[in-house]
Amino acid sequence: MLYRGIGRRGLMVGTSIAAAMIGGAALAQDSAAASDEVAEIVVTAQRRDQSLQDVPVTVTTFGAEEIREARIQEVQDVVTRSPGLNFDAFPSGQPRLTVRGIGSSDRGAGGDPSAGVFLDEIYLGRPTMIAFDAFDVERIEVVKGPQGTLYGRNVVGGAINVVTAAPRLEDFSASLEGTVGDYERAEAAGFVNVPLGDKAALRASGSIRTRGGYVDNRTTGGELDEQDTASARLQLMVQPTETLTLRLGADITQDRGSGPAKYVVAVDASDPLSGFWPIDRDRDSAASEYDGTQDRDTWGVRAQAIWELPGVTVNYLFGYREVDYLVDMDFDGGPRDPAGRLSIGGGNAEESWSTSHELRFMSADDSAISWVAGIYAVDAETDRTDVLDLSIPDFDGVFDFSDGGTEGLLLTEIYRQSAKVESRAVFADATFPLGERLNLTAGVRYTWDEKTYAVDNLDSQAVFRANGAIDAVSTASWEAFTWRVGADYHFSDDHMAYVMISRGFKSGGFQETPENQLDAQTAYDPEYATQYEIGTRSSFLNGQLIWNNTIYTMAYEDLQVRETSGLIIFTANADATINGYETLLRASPGGGFELTATYAYTDATFDSYVLPSSDYSGNRLTRVPEHKVTLSPSYTVDFASGGDLMFALDYAYESKIWDDASNTGNEFRDPTHFVDARAVFTAPSGDWSLAVWGKNLTDEVTRSHQATFIGATFASYNPPRTVGLTLRWNF
């Protein structure tokens, strides 16, 4: 079992805020945020408001109405509907995002994600911080490819921007919704927007979501993969003058749940330990030694000042984020049997905080040249404990314990990690008109990063992943110039083509569980990606049809790849080339019918990836399907009384995936087909609506995570079919 002694700051305050938000009113979409018209979708992918059809980068966007009706609640729901975006969440509190083949599996204190997630422009620098409820959210943007000019740290692969609904000065509005469903699902969520005179407004939102576990634990009688989440957000906007806007915000999320269900799904007959692993592939039940824990408390504050001066807008943004996280689980998914099988357990405890400052200067809306320049700084600290509990049967010659006679006992190995990060950057980006139809874009960013990293295993009862005691402190720094240059040409108001070359950077890092003292003190290299992209943006039939296309190739240098060898996990560098094509079609021909269709082709292969005992050059990158298709048709029936009934379907297909760089063995996922559906009735007054919905209606079964070591492949499965009913009131 894993225990922690880290603080729970903000928990009681956050719980009280969440309760107050739910007790007052709950979220729904207000009339202004509800606009999700095919012909005009506004995004801020380039740090300024632009029509999606005018942006010379690839962006997938979800408006407030789509987020609400499709029950897009967390990052995994965004991934399912985004071409070129993939997701691996094991455990659920430490998601790993991959954009166009670029991702990172390193979740240690000395590593960083390769795809950035931003909540109202604040960078969530740790995977454990990615905990937001997409309720009372104006839109979600998925920006593809390196964003090394305009965004904060380490956005080498792409970014997910979550833009919450801002306070509104115009009117009072509120909404409340409740959901019930199978697996004892019960949810309540809501928002209230209150003008405070004509110069200020307050907006509060919150949600509570609970459900039972998807998996029965045959050993304990309990349930695995339970959920109990509460979120709250409070925002104040003040406009003392016509040219000055001040925004203050605070949010908190509390997760409580049992551990994830794990299974031995295959064995490696060539490994002498394989005989100790009975196979279990029953997704509905497991035999875990204990139910485990998945707890997370994360909160943050945000302050922004926007001052519009003649010819320039000054924008200052401050953010503070903190997370307190614990996962404790039975990793092998079976009961402890000292005489007949191995037993693996443990988990992670993490406490992390970060503070960021950004000062941006932006051109006025009527400026001929659209430009932005600024400075950025972030400081962060992470304390992380990695625990491995291991019980080994009497099997001489496989493991050598220095004290002897420990076979069958439960022994614990503990790695303690601490990392301090300083990052500083200056940046500038501009779009220059060359005539009425041609624009030139150029940008540059200088980044300096420094990490101080400490790691030891001195509190361990036994050492499994190292060849002795480790106690090391190291410091490393990196600097990089990243840039982009491109052009776009508007053939007409409805058709645009562009070319963009962009370069991204992610700093180096340190091993999570080093094998020896030298590994602990040696940093792995930073990674770079240079992308060449050509795209078109087209609108037909007065905006009833949108068709966007992108072709790209990406050169990836020193990709940070996580590998497993026995019980040892390490990060190595590799080079890769990624080629791809993405297309988006949105059609609204009338008669109540609408369709959104996307397709992504990704050819991601290692150019050079050589380890001491293996050469994986030429193999496919891990967790990247070659093909991904999404189809979302809907049909709305309008009644003479004024109400309507909408039927919608969401279909997602992914081709096969390798989870191991060797592209051999049991770490393979078959193609998947997921189907969601919903029917929504909206009353003539618009004051209430009722939705019946279902997810994974075909009850598709696939492995959502897997890893092979010491003779077995351990895996987790996706959620089963779920159905529910949601009632919403608007005030």
CB burial readout 597-617, b (16+ within 10 A) else e = bbbbbbebbbeebeeeeeebe
Which tens digit of pLDDT belongs to each residue from 617-642?
Answer: 999 988 889 999 999 999 999 999 88
Which tens digit of pLDDT belongs to each residue from 127-143?
Answer: 888 877 778 888 888 88
Amino acid at 628: K
506 part of a folded domain: yes
**Reported confidence tier of residue 272, pLDDT bands at 50, 70, 90:** confident
Q: What is the mean pLDDT of residues 600-619?
A: 89
Does residue 29 carry a pLDDT above 50? no
What confidence score (pLDDT) does residue 401 get? 46
**Reported confidence tier of residue 5, pLDDT bands at 50, 70, 90:** very low
Which tens digit of pLDDT belongs to each residue from 388-422?
Answer: 988 876 555 444 444 455 555 778 999 999 999 99
Does residue 46 carry a pLDDT above 50? yes
What confidence score (pLDDT) does residue 35 get? 36
Mean pLDDT of the residues in the chain: 85
CA-closest candidate to residue 127, choices 103, 151, 149: 103
β-pairing, 42-43 vs 102-103, is unpaired
Task: Give 606-639 as a DSSP string.
Answer: EEE-EETTEE-TTPBPTT--SEEEEEEEEEEEEP
226 part of a folded domain: yes
Q: What is the mean pLDDT of residues 33-40?
A: 42
CA distances from 88 to 19, 130, 225, 548 (A): 31, 13, 16, 27
Does residue 430 carry a pLDDT above 50? yes
Which tens digit of pLDDT belongs to each residue from 209-266?
Answer: 999 999 999 999 999 999 999 999 999 999 999 999 999 999 999 999 998 899 999 9
- Contact at 8 Å (CB) between 528 and 503? yes
2 part of a folded domain: no
Go through the chain and tell me how many residues it has.
Answer: 731
87 part of a folded domain: yes
Residue 532 CB-density burial (10 A; 0-12 exposed, 13-18 middle, 19+ buried): middle
Q: Which domain holds residue 613?
A: 11-730
Which tens digit of pLDDT belongs to each residue from 673-726?
Answer: 999 999 999 999 889 999 999 999 999 999 888 888 888 888 999 999 999 999
Cis peptide, bond prior to residue 91, ω within 30 of zero: yes
3 part of a folded domain: no
What confidence score (pLDDT) does residue 384 get? 94
Q: What is the Cα–Cα distance from 169 to 552, expressed in whole angstroms?
A: 43
Question: Number of structural domains, the chain?
Answer: 1
21 part of a folded domain: yes
At which residue do the structure tokens 């696939």 appear? 702
More confident residue, 43 or 300: 300
What confidence score (pLDDT) does residue 14 get? 37
More confident residue, 3 or 458: 458
- Secondary structure of residue 564 in the 3-state scheme: strand
What confidence score (pLDDT) does residue 43 get? 64
Q: What is the Cα–Cα distance from 232 to 168, expressed in whole angstroms?
A: 18
Which tens digit of pLDDT belongs to each residue from 522-538?
Answer: 998 898 999 999 999 99
CB-based contacts of 77-82 (< 8 A; 24+ apart in sequence): 77/134, 78/134, 78/140, 78/142, 78/160, 80/630, 80/650, 80/652, 80/674, 81/598, 81/630, 81/632, 81/650, 81/652, 82/142, 82/598, 82/630
Which tens digit of pLDDT belongs to each residue from 477-508?
Answer: 999 999 999 999 999 999 999 999 999 998 89
1 part of a folded domain: no
Return the CATH number at 258: 2.40.170.20
At which residue do the structure tokens 């059609």 appear? 587
Q: What is the mean pLDDT of residues 444-454?
A: 95
What confidence score (pLDDT) does residue 91 get? 64
5 part of a folded domain: no
Task: Give 450-468 as a DSSP string.
Answer: EEEEEEE-TT-SS-SSSSS
Does residue 37 carry a pLDDT above 60? no
- Contact at 8 Å (CB) between 286 and 261? yes
